[in-house]
Amino acid sequence: MLQYNRINNLVGWLVFAVATIVYVLTLEPTASFWDSGEFIASSYKLLVPHPPGAPFYLLLGRIFSMFAGDPSQVAWWVNLLSALSSSFTVLFLFWTITILARKILVPSVAATSRVSATAEVVDAAVAPTLSQTIAIMGAGAVGALAFTFSDSFWFSAVEAEVYAMSSFFTAFVVWAMLRWESRAHEAVSDKWLVLIAYMVGLSIGVHLLNLVAIPALAFIFFFRLRKYSNKGAILTLVVSALILGIVLVGVIPGLPSIAGWFEVLFVNSFGMPFGAGVIFFVALFIGGIVWAVRHAIRTGNRVLHTALLSFIFVLIGYSSYLIIPIRSGYDPTIDENDPENIVSFVSYLKREQYGDRPLLFGPQFNAEPVDQKEGAAQYIKGKDKYIEVGRKVEPVYDSKDKTLLPRLYSNQPGHIVQYKKWVDIQDGKMPSFGDNLSFLFRYQMGHMFWRYFGWNFIGREGDIQQSGVLWPWESSDGLPERVAQSKARNNFLMLPLALGILGLVFQLRRKQRDAFVVGLLFFFTGLAIVIYLNQPPIEPRERDYTFAGAFYAYCIWIGLGVLAIADFLRKTLKSDVMAGVIATVVGLLIPGIMAAEGWDDHDRSDRYHSVDSAKNLLSSVAPNAILFTNGDNDTFPLWYAQEVEGFRTDVRVAVLSYMNTDWYLDQMKRQAYLSAPFPMSLENENYRQGINDYLPYVERPEVASGIDLKQYIQLVKQNHQALQIGDRAGRTYLSFPTKNFFLNVDKNAVLAANAVAPAYRDSVVSQMRWTIDKSGLEKKHLAILDLLANNNWQRPVYFSTTADNSDFMGLENYLQLEGLAYRVVPVQSTSSDHMGYIARDIMYDNMMNKFSWRNLDRTDIFYDENYLRFPANARDKFYQLTLEYLKAGDKATAKKIMDHCFTQLPDKSIPYDYYIPPFVVPLYEVGEQKRAQEIVNTMANRADNSLRYYFTQGSLFETEIRINLFIMQQLIQVARQVGMTEKATEIEQKFMQFYGQMNR
């Protein structure tokens, strides 16, 4: 038996080594897009990221970051945390599979007094035979390596995100529970349960996904210690759900919420100092726990004692969350939601800023509120007490407009359009319960889970969002080049799926209870999450990483499939040993295929543009600038560049979506590194929660022609009666009385600050006039207007070119393009080609000399759809800059710009996009006819092939269809402009055919 344990440990660590080598070799060297930049920055300086935070992850990330030789290496080290978390996940998966495989192959023995008479217990003293050992090790290796190379898990393993570590906790607690199962008869076996509780508590500080493993753990406990009965199984399910609810609702937000209630009571009602209520509750709670433990010890109640110890260790693990209010109290540069007091901390934990989705019962998307009711009071911390800033207002719906499992709930126009594409909903009628179930099974389960399942175990069509499953019989013939040649087009020949089904059937035949436990784990980490998330039909990106736990569970069956193969071979071969060896070799071919297919699209070892794009944006602005950004990929890489690498810390990054909150505006008014405070005249009382959240447009004839911006801001500060309007409940709100604004310009201040390009110094206007075409102003708009009114051109103000145009508030004619950002300037442009005007020389210096394009010209590096959006935007700016030099008659410089663009962003690595056709005309003008013709011919053929394919895919790729039709339109126009009349006619004929198809 000792020899078996050594082999089990040795092979496990060998598999761990393979996984570690793979993940280190494919590790991203810097911050990737989405949340990684935020997590790396927050780990490096222990900042406060978006709710609900990941404090334990941040603590470990901080430790890893300390090994970096210089700040540019911090990202790699924090990414390594994910890689090692993933490797350890693979290790514990291996040991989980070998435990389950051994239970199948090694005979069971009679139970002890603590074990059910029907429990199947592996005899620890009976060592597996050589053939059994080979089969068991093969099962563990194949299953663990299949998970190593699975698409979704590999993706999370090579970037700084919480999902890899969350998977580790899931793998660990399942393994630990199986270890407890084999030792439940021992006197000290309960220590395993306490360890599991502690790990569950720690996992809360990473991600809540680990909690859904609790029902599976509960059934391992039930099958081990209780005689099976249907009543017992139902009770186990209920108790496990209760434990899950206690942790998810009672502990995580519940305990802080109770502490918050005491805090408000003690401070507001009893006049005690801040913190008194929290201290009282903590003392009361600890006293209660101590009394309960002492009672359990006195009465000798082992179950109660173990339960209390487990609960205590969950709380000890959960205590990592204390880092959030502690660090927030120091006012760090990233301090989302400012959770430094108990009231804001509870809001942070509950993720209140993201709103709620109905789960079991709620209204349909076309339900109209019949009333509204006030919910719980909302407080903020004042000078000497907590101030009630209002109550949550919740709409009330007619019961006939509600349904069980409301899946069709969102009333956003875009969501409604998509609902009707997935479900046949009749206009003017309320969706039926069947319609909701149809959306649940077709979209939420089918498209948003089983499609991802297919990606991991069948094959994946490509990297374009909405890409489907690639089946073994599907050919690449006739596919668009973008799809056929995508590195993300992986065909696993359905072999992982087949081996997993084989393993599932084999386990069902041999160990039904274990199969049930694995199935329960698969359900709760997969389909149950689908039901809980209740996803709308539009997501900013694919969400496959959410279901890594389900894919982990399926890989257990993939591993057990090796036993099924060995069992079959054993019947045909004379040697049991050879059966195990051959089964293992055959099984290892499957992770080998997965590795070979997935390597090129998971290897991020030379990708840098996520951070380069951030630095390029920061390099686009003048010193001490204020830069308005919008969206995760437009912001988080900038945070990384500033917080970690210290790049352009003089620039104040202002996130437009956050500017609708009081805590963020308060933070903007503080110094941040070299960036001076945001110049706002509005005080907290003008924008705190519940104040000026939305200012509707209510026209006043006396200012219809326009109002002085400074005067309007003063009226807002004074809460002036002239702007007040009331509602039926007697509450008053401020409005904006006209859509026309003007701002008098101090020309001397403009010139002294070098606020405009030298060529436009004589064009500075004495008064800016513009129209805000909105039905209401949000808090962020009010803050921007305040900045414009009071800045007096002392701080350069920029908008990222990727920001939503609606946030420009009618200032489009007063913008100066200097690279990847527009500067607000008092020079009016009349151009109809683009917004504002171009500061030609400044933009040239930025894009040609300051910007970095590392490795974007390499064909061996995979750039997915999200990456390609950023070089596409850069191409558009290269084009606009080219036109400016052509207008000035400088063809040599125009040619140089285009050469630089096509050299740094070549078609071979960054495929031509819809920003490329306009280049055809300037290419002709500078004598590059051959390249221009190549663009027209290449893009026409690609658009033709793409449209032929996408029209066969239903409505999923409507965006791609519109893009390719737009490309054809552009090609027709530019081809005619340069004299390619015959080609233009050919493209037009095809365009009309496709356009006709679209409108059928």
Please state which of the ranges 5-9, 351-355, 488-492, 676-680 shows the lowest mean pLDDT: 351-355
Q: Which residue has the tokens 């039901």?
A: 531
pLDDT score at 114:
45
Type of residue numbered 360: L
Q: Give mean pLDDT, residues 656-666.
A: 94
pLDDT grade for 113, boundaries at 50, 70 and 90: very low
pLDDT score at 1000:
64
- C-alpha to C-alpha distance for 949 and 961, rounded to whole angstroms: 9
DSSP-based three-state secondary structure for 88: helix
Is there a contact between 154 and 167 (Cβ–Cβ < 8 Å)?
A: no
Q: What are the sequence ranges of the domains in the chain? A: 229-352, 606-843, 853-1000
Is there a contact between 994 and 968 (Cβ–Cβ < 8 Å)?
A: yes
Helices (H), 300-402: 302-318, 323-328, 342-349
pLDDT grade for 451, boundaries at 50, 70 and 90: very high
Q: What is the tens place of the pLDDT at every residue in 407-432?
A: 999 999 989 999 998 999 888 889 99
DSSP per position, 578-620:
HHHHHHHHHHHHHHHHHHHHHHHHH--TT--HHHHHHHHHHHT
Type of residue numbered 969: Q
Q: Which two tokens stand for residue 138?
A: 């093969």
pLDDT score at 670:
95
Q: What is the tens place of the pLDDT at every residue in 510-537?
A: 999 999 999 999 999 999 999 999 999 9
pLDDT grade for 377, boundaries at 50, 70 and 90: confident
Residue among 673, 683, 678 nearest 333 (CA): 673
- C-alpha to C-alpha distance for 141 and 129, rounded to whole angstroms: 18
CA angle 586, 590, 594 (to 5 degrees): 160
Neighbour count for residue 504 (Cβ, 10 Å): 21
Q: What is the tens place of the pLDDT at every residue in 842-886?
A: 999 999 999 999 999 999 999 998 899 999 999 999 999 999 999
pLDDT grade for 392, boundaries at 50, 70 and 90: confident
719: phi > 0 → left, psi -120 to 50 → alpha, else beta; which? left
Cβ within 8 Å of residue 955, ≥6 positions away: 421
DSSP per position, 236-287:
HHHHHHHHHHIIIIIIIIIHHHHHHHHHHIIIIIT-PPTTHHHHHHHHHHHH
Q: What is the tens place of the pLDDT at every residue in 123-138?
A: 555 789 999 999 999 9
Q: What pTM was computed for the model? A: 0.93
Average pLDDT value over all residues in the chain: 93
pLDDT score at 121:
54
pLDDT score at 108:
66
